[in-house]
Structure 1
Amino acid sequence: MQDRHRHAQRAKRKRWCASLFGSALALVAVAPGGFAQGVAPGNAPAPGDANASHPMAQVQHQPFWAKRLTGYLAARDGTQLRYSVLLPKGKGPFPVIVNYSGYDPGSIGGAAYLDDNTAMAVNLDRTLVEAGYAVAGVNARGTACSEGQFEFLARSYGQDGRDAIEFFAAQGWSNGSVGMANWSWAGMSQIATAAERPPHLKAIAPGMVLGDARLDSWAIGGVPAPNFVAGWWDFLHGRWDSALQSARAEGDNRCVAQIATNLKTAETARVADILTKHPLRDDYIEIRHLGARTGRIEVPILSMEAFQDEATTPREDYYQDNLNLEKLWFVQTNGPHDMYESLVFRKTLLGFFDRFVKGQDNGFDKGPHVQVWLETSTATGGRLANENSQPRLVVNAPRYPAAVKPVSFELSSGGKLVQGGSDGKNDGRGEGRGEGRGDDFAYPLPGPTVNADFLSDTWGPLPTDWRKGSLAYTSAAMDDTLFAYGSASADLWVAATGSDADLQVTLTEVRPDGQEMFVQRGFLRLSDRVQDDSRSNPLRPYPLDRPETMASLTPGEPVLGRVELTKFAHLFRKGSRLRLWIDTPSQYGGNGFAPYSQPQTITVLHDAQHPSRLLVGQWDQASGVTPKLPEERPACGTILKQPCRPDPLASR
C-alpha cells in the first residue's frame, strides 16, 4: 500500500509539473496577420541559442557545458546551501547568471536535468552557456539538498541570495560580474536578493513574481484562494524528487540524506498551514511582501509578466512602480506563466545581460523601456509551445509607465454598458450615467471556470441556474478600435442581504462572429473594500487589506466595491462589444477560491446616486510610436489564454 501511495503521489506531482509549470498547451495556430516593430514570423533563434539544433521535443539532453561543479556554500549563519555550476567553453573567468529558488536549481546538470526533469528551462541555460555565461543554480535553505529550515519567502531568503551572489563572484572561474535570471519562485528570489544590494550583482531579469503573496495569490482581492497552494506543495516535492534522482545517480549520499530530512522538517512550514494560522494580513504575512522592499533595488531590471498568468497572476504588487524607472525594462504579454521561455523574449534577455553583466555597448539601454506583446500565439504544442510563442504585434513605449486615458462605461438598465466620457459624464451623444433601480443575482452560484484545464485554454460549461447567479452588461458595437491597456476598475455600488460577499468580475469581447473572447478577471471580498489612497487611482483599485480597515456589510445598505481587473492589453476592434459579467468567484487558472458562503441576494445599483461603471485605460498615442493596428481579428482558439465560446446571450 505504501508503494502504491508513493507511485500515486509521484504521478500527481508529474501531472502538476507537466500541466502547470510545464505549460503543456493545446495545439494552436499562429494568428493571421503581419508583425511589427521588428518582430516577424519565423525569426531565427538568438545567437548562441541551441534550440535550432536541440529542440525541446528531444527530451534527453546531452551535456552542453565544458565543466560542471557542485558543492555547498555557507550562508552568513553557517547554513550550507547546495549549488551546481555549468561552465562554458574557454579559459575564463566568466560572467555568471544565477538561478536561485526552492525547486531543484542546486542540481542542474544532473541526471534528472538531462532528462528534462527540472523546474526551469534546460534550453535557456544552454543559450546562456553557449553565449559565454557560467550558469549557477543554488537551492534555498531547507529545500532539496540544502540545509536549514524551510520558510517560504522569509527575510533570510534575500539575505541568503546576497551571500550566494558574493560567493559566486569570488570564485576563480568567475570574473565577479553576476546577474540573475528565470521566473516564478526564481523571479521572486531576484527581487528579494537585489533588495539586499549584493556588491557584485550587476542586473536581474525576474519574471512572473509574487510581489505581495497575499493579494497576488493567496487571497486575490481579499478572496481566499487555497487551491493553488495545495497543488503547489505537491509540485514542490516533485522538484525535490528530481534532485533526489540526480543525487542517487551521482552517489551523493549527503544530498540524499538532506532531502529526506527536508521532507520532514518542511511540513512544519507548509504554506497551507501558514494561511490557516494567518488568514489575514499581519506582521508574519507582511514579511513576505517582497514588493515593499523593491525600492531598495539599485541594479538594472528586465521584468516580464503574462497577463493571463494561471499561477501567480500579473498583479505582482505593481512592484515596478518602486524602482528607478531609468533602470527598468518591461515586457508584457498575453499568455501563461511560462512565457519567459519564448525565444522572442530570449533575444531581449541576452541583449540585456550582454549590456549590463558583460558590459558590452550593444545599445540595449537606448531602446524602448516598455514592450507590449499583443495577440501572442504559438504554432506548436507541448513543451515547445512557450518557446515558439510569438506576438502578432509589439507596441513600444519609451519608458514605464506607458500613458493611458481612462474610458468609462456606465452600467445601465436592460444589461447595457453605456460608453461615457473619461470622467463618466455625458459623452455628447445623449447618453450619460446609468439608470434604473438595479439588478439582482443569487449568491453564491459560482460563474464558469476559465483556463482551469491546463492542457487547453477553455471556458468551463455554464453552471446550472447561471442566469440567476450572474449579471451581464454589454456595450454597443465599438465605432473605432479601442486599444485597452493596463489595469481596469469595476466600480460597483452593491447592496446585499448578508453580512459579506465575494464578487467576480469578468471582462470579455463579444465579436461580430457571435463568439465571446475572454480578456481578464478580477475579484473582491466586499469586507476588504477600503482603498489605499496612496496607491489607488481611477484605473487601479488597491485595497488597504488590513484587519483594522475591514468592515462587514449592513444588509440592504449600498457600498462601493472597486474590483481590480489586473493588467491586460487587448484590441477591441470596430464592431466588437465589451461585456462585463458579475457573479461569484469560480476557478480561474490554478486559482480555486473559497468564497464567503452565506446564501443571499446581491443587488448591483446603477442609479444617479449610485453610478456603477467600468473604467479601462486606452493606450495614449503619446506613449510612443504605435504601429498600424491590424483590422483583421485573430481566429478564436489561437490567442494564448484568451479562449472563446459561443455568446451565451445570443439567444436573447
Structure 2
Amino acid sequence: MTTVVETFPRKVVCLDPVFIPMSDGTRLAATIWLPEDAGDRPVPAILELIPYRRRDGTVFRDMKMHPYVAGHGFACCRVDIRGSGDSEGVLPDEYTEQEFDDACEIIAWLAAQSWSSGSVGMTGISWGGFNALQVAARQPPALKAIIALCCSDDRYADDVHYFGGCLLTEDGMWSSLMLAMGALPPDPQIVGDRWRDMWRERLEATTCWSSTWMRHQRRDAYWKRGSVCEDFAKIKIPVYAISGWDDTYSNAVPRLLEGLTGPRKGLVGPWTHVYPFLGNPGPAIGYLQEAVRWWRQWLEGVDTGVMDGPLYTAWLNDPHAPAPFYPEHAGRFVGEPSWPTPNVESMLLHLNADGLGPEARDGRAMLLCSPVTAGRDCGRYGGYGGTVPDMAIDQRREDGLGLCFDTVPLKQDFDLLGAPVVQVTGISDSELGFIVARLCEVAPDGTSTLVTWGVLNLAHRQGHEHPEPLVPGQEFKARIELNHIGRRFAAGNRLRLVLSNQHWPILWPTPGMPSITMESGSSRLLLPVRRQVPGEVQIEFAPAEMSPPVSLEVLRDEEHRRDIAIDGGSGRQTITLASDEGRVHLTDRSIVTGARVVDRMSITEGDPLSALLETGWELSVESGEAQVETRSHLTIGTDGERFQLSWKLEVFERGILAFERGGDEWIDRDHI
C-alpha cells in the first residue's frame, strides 16, 4: 500500500497554465510544481514531455508524484508535446526531430528562469522515457541527468511495433489510441477562444500512424533515428534506467548498463508498465524517495549515497501459479556490481527428442508445425497485469501445440538472471517463417507458468536490416534471444522449453503454414544461471509514498474483460479485450473525461490469411465550451503479399458528428 504524504520540507505551489515560447513562435503548455520560496532559493528543474494531455490524461499519476518531488526542492515541469493537450501546433508521429528541438529549447528556458538553479533533469515513463534518452544524446548544456522508465534504446527491437523482426498486433492497437487521442481538443478553460481553431488544425492534420510504421518492416533509417543504441557514446550524463519484468521494455535496462560508459544505474522490479511507487504487480517501492536522491546527487552535487549500491538491482520472482493478473509477486531484490556480471554463468542444455539434457543425443527427427491458433493463452504483448486480465495463463494448451523439451525434476533451487538464448538448427519447407521460444516452469501437478519468451523472424537470422528468405530444404541456423528475466526455479519443478511457429494474436502469422524439421540434439538452450553469492545482503527500498491524488468523482466504474469465442463449425476463434476505463469528474478543474476500448483479434483454424485485427477507442472530454467525443476504428487484414489497413476517425461535438476522416490502403509485406 502506497502512503499518501501531505506535508513536505518545502511548501509547493502549482503554476498552470504556463506557456513556454519556442523559437518559431509556437507556445507549449505546461504545468509547473515548485517550492513557494524558489524565487529566493532557486531549485533545479525536472522536465517531463509527453503527448497524453496533462490536465485530463496523465493528471491521475502526475498529482501523485510531481508535487512530492517539488516539495523536496525541485521544480517539476510537465509539458504537453507540440500538437497535444493545450500546446499549439500538430503532432505527426512519435519522436520527431521537432520534438527533440522543442525539448532542447524547453530545457534552456527552464534553466534561465529566475526560480531555477540552472540545472535541469528529464524524466518520464514510456514515451517520456524514450525522449529522455533521445534528448540526452543531443547533449543540451543544461541537462545534467535523466531517469528513463519503461522505454527502449532500440525503437525496432522491442517497442510496440516489431519484435524479433515480426509485426505486432499491438502496432495497430497503439495507432488506434493515438488516432482518437490526437483528435481531442485543447481545453477552452486554458487556451480561451482559440480552442476551436487549434482543434480544427489538429483534425485537418489527422493521419493513421500505422500507415507509416507498417511501411518500415525492417530496421531501417526510420527506426535508427531516435534509437540511442546506434551510438551510446552520445549520452554523457548520468542515466537511471528502470523497468519491470512484466513490462515489455525490461530488456533495455541491461542493454543500457552494458552500452553506456558514464554514471548509470539500473533497476528492474516485478512491475508492469507503471511507476514503481504504484507497484503493479506489487510490491511497490519508495521510488519517489529514490528519485529525489538521484536528482539531489546529480542536479545539486550532494552526495546522497545513491551511487553507493549495486550498478544493477533486479527482482527475482519466486515460482508462482499462472494467472490472468497478479496483485503482487513474491521474491527478492538482488544486486550486481556490473553488467554483464561475473555472478552469472551460462548453463548449456541440448534439445533432445526426450527432453533437455547436458549432452546431445541423436535420435528421431522432430517436426515443428503449430496451428495458427497457437499463442492464444500467452497473454497480451504489453499487458498491464494489475486488474486487466491480459497476462499469460496456464500454458499446458500452448505447450501441446509446439515442440516441448523438459528437464528432469530439479534437485535444488536455482536462479536465472539475464536473457536465455536458443540456438536452433533446422530445415524449413518455406521461405518465410518464425520460431517462438517460451521458457516455462512446470509444477508437479502439470501446471505450466510462462517465465519468458522470444521470437525470431527467420528471414532476419543474419540481422534485422537486410532480410534473407530461407532456402526450402536447406539447413539454417538461428539464434533466438528471449526476454531478460529474473527468476527462482524451485526444486521438484521442471524447466520446459517450448518451440512453436505461430503466435496469434500477438504476432501476425506468415502467409503459409511452414513446417520445420529439427534433428534431436542439434539445437541448444543457454541459460543465464546466477550463482549464490556468499554473504549477500538483502536489498530493500523505502516504503512507497506519494502526494495526494487529484480530486475526482467517479461517474462510471472501470470494467475489464477478456473473452474467447470459438465457432465450432467454421473453426473461427475470436479473442476480445474490452476495457471500460471509466468516466470521472475532475472536481478541482471542472473536467469530465472517459475512455473505452475494444480490441478484437480473430483467425480461422488452418488459414493464416484469415487473421484480422479490429480495434477501436472512444474518448470523451467535457470542459468549458468543449463537449467532445472521438471514436477511432482500425482494422488490419492480410493476403499472401500485402497487409490491408483500414481506419476511420469520427469526432462528435455535443453528440453531433463534426468531423470524420478515414483511409483504406494496401501495404506490401516485406519478408514478414
Q: 2: CA distance between counterparts of 1:377 and 1:237?
A: 40
After superposition, give the CA deviation of every residue in 1:272-314 in whole Å (9 maximum; x if it has no partner): 011233222322332242332432111111110222314x463
1:523 is matched with: 455
1:447 is matched with: 375
* Secondary structure, counterpart of 2:410 in structure 1: coil
1:233 is matched with: 175
Q: 1: CA distance between counterparts of 2:319 and 2:195?
A: 41
- 2:363 corresponds to 1:436: yes
Cα 1:389–1:213 change in 2 (3 A) is: same
Residue type of the alignment partner of 1:410: H
8 A Cα contact 2:425 2:476, kept in partner? yes
Q: 1: CA distance between counterparts of 2:78 and 2:121?
A: 12
Q: Aligned pairs, how many?
A: 517
- What does residue range 484-523 of structure 1 map to in structure 2 within 5 Å? 484-523=416-455
* 1:587 to partner: Cα distance: 5.0
Q: 2: CA distance between counterparts of 1:512 and 1:460?
A: 17
1:545 is matched with: 464
Cα 1:517–1:52 change in 2 (3 A) is: farther
* 1:401 to partner: Cα distance: 3.2
Cα 1:625–1:434 change in 2 (3 A) is: farther
- 2:484 corresponds to 1:567: yes
Cα 1:76–1:616 change in 2 (3 A) is: farther
- 2:329 corresponds to 1:396: no
More strand by share: 2
- Which one has more relative contact order, counting CA pairs under 8 Å at least 6 apart? 1
Cα 1:399–1:256 change in 2 (3 A) is: farther
* Secondary structure, counterpart of 2:527 in structure 1: strand
Q: 1: CA distance between counterparts of 2:319 and 2:271?
A: 8
Cα 1:239–1:625 change in 2 (3 A) is: farther
Of residues 287, 310, 316, the one that matches 2:225 is: 287
* Secondary structure, counterpart of 1:480 in structure 2: coil
* Secondary structure, counterpart of 2:32 in structure 1: strand
Q: 2: CA distance between counterparts of 1:628 and 1:69?
A: 43
* Secondary structure, counterpart of 1:299 in structure 2: coil
* 1:167 to partner: Cα distance: 0.9
1:541 is matched with: none
Of residues 349, 353, 356, the one that matches 1:409 is: 349
Q: 1: CA distance between counterparts of 2:317 and 2:107?
A: 37
Residue type of the alignment partner of 1:322: G
8 A Cα contact 1:87 1:133, kept in partner? yes
* 1:89 to partner: Cα distance: 2.9
Residue type of the alignment partner of 2:260: L
8 A Cα contact 2:130 2:148, kept in partner? yes
* 1:443 to partner: Cα distance: 4.1
* 1:462 to partner: Cα distance: 7.2
* Secondary structure, counterpart of 2:69 in structure 1: helix
Of residues 259, 269, 272, the one that matches 1:336 is: 272
1:459 is matched with: 392
8 A Cα contact 1:505 1:563, kept in partner? yes
* Secondary structure, counterpart of 1:359 in structure 2: coil
1:319 is matched with: 256
8 A Cα contact 1:447 1:463, kept in partner? no
After superposition, give the CA deviation of every residue in 1:157-188 in whole Å (9 maximum; x if it has no partner): 33322221111111112221211222100001
Cα 1:577–1:376 change in 2 (3 A) is: closer
- 2:92 corresponds to 1:150: yes
After superposition, give the CA deviation of every residue in 1:426-475 in whole Å (9 maximum; x if it has no partner): xxxxxx113223211324532333233751354358798974x4111101
What value does the CA root-mean-square deviation take over the aligned residues? 3.3
Cα 1:79–1:292 change in 2 (3 A) is: farther
Residue type of the alignment partner of 2:92: F
After superposition, give the CA deviation of every residue in 1:386-435 in whole Å (9 maximum; x if it has no partner): 9x968631111223333321111111013x011x2xxxxxxxxxxx1132
* 1:346 to partner: Cα distance: 2.9
More helix by share: 1
Q: 2: CA distance between counterparts of 1:79 and 1:138?
A: 13
After superposition, give the CA deviation of every residue in 1:563-616 in whole Å (9 maximum; x if it has no partner): 11011111112222110111134258xxx2112121232223334xxx201111
Cα 1:293–1:85 change in 2 (3 A) is: farther
Of residues 63, 71, 76, the one that matches 2:18 is: 71
Q: 2: CA distance between counterparts of 1:305 and 1:220?
A: 18
* Secondary structure, counterpart of 2:369 in structure 1: strand
Q: 2: CA distance between counterparts of 1:461 and 1:574?
A: 20
Identity of aligned residues (%): 21
- What does residue range 99-138 of structure 1 map to in structure 2 within 5 Å? 99-104=48-53, 107=54, 110=55, 112=56, 118=59, 120-138=61-79
After superposition, give the CA deviation of every residue in 1:98-119 in whole Å (9 maximum; x if it has no partner): 1112222xx4xx4x26xxx547
8 A Cα contact 1:70 1:84, kept in partner? yes
Q: 2: CA distance between counterparts of 1:135 and 1:238?
A: 28
8 A Cα contact 2:348 2:527, kept in partner? yes
Q: 1: CA distance between counterparts of 2:443 and 2:32?
A: 51
1:36 is matched with: none
8 A Cα contact 2:370 2:502, kept in partner? no
Q: 2: CA distance between counterparts of 1:601 and 1:164?
A: 54
After superposition, give the CA deviation of every residue in 1:12-32 in whole Å (9 maximum; x if it has no partner): xxxxxxxxxxxxxxxxxxxxx
After superposition, give the CA deviation of every residue in 1:471-496 in whole Å (9 maximum; x if it has no partner): 11101122232211111111111211
1:81 is matched with: 28
Q: 2: CA distance between counterparts of 1:233 and 1:491?
A: 34
Cα 1:74–1:320 change in 2 (3 A) is: farther
> Is there any run of 5+ residues in structure 1 with no aligned partner, and where?
1-41, 55-63, 421-431, 531-543, 630-652
2:536 is matched with: 626
- TM-score for both structures, normalised by structure 2: 0.70
- 2:515 corresponds to 1:601: yes
The range that moved more, 196-205 or 352-361, is 352-361
* Secondary structure, counterpart of 2:339 in structure 1: coil
Cα 1:359–1:299 change in 2 (3 A) is: same
Q: 2: CA distance between counterparts of 1:242 and 1:98?
A: 24
> Is there any run of 5+ residues in structure 2 with no aligned partner, and where?
279-284, 540-672
1:632 is matched with: none
* 1:237 to partner: Cα distance: 5.1
8 A Cα contact 2:253 2:266, kept in partner? no
* 1:330 to partner: Cα distance: 0.5
8 A Cα contact 1:497 1:556, kept in partner? yes
* Secondary structure, counterpart of 1:498 in structure 2: coil
* Secondary structure, counterpart of 1:166 in structure 2: helix
The range that moved more, 439-448 or 575-584, is 439-448
2:503 is matched with: 586
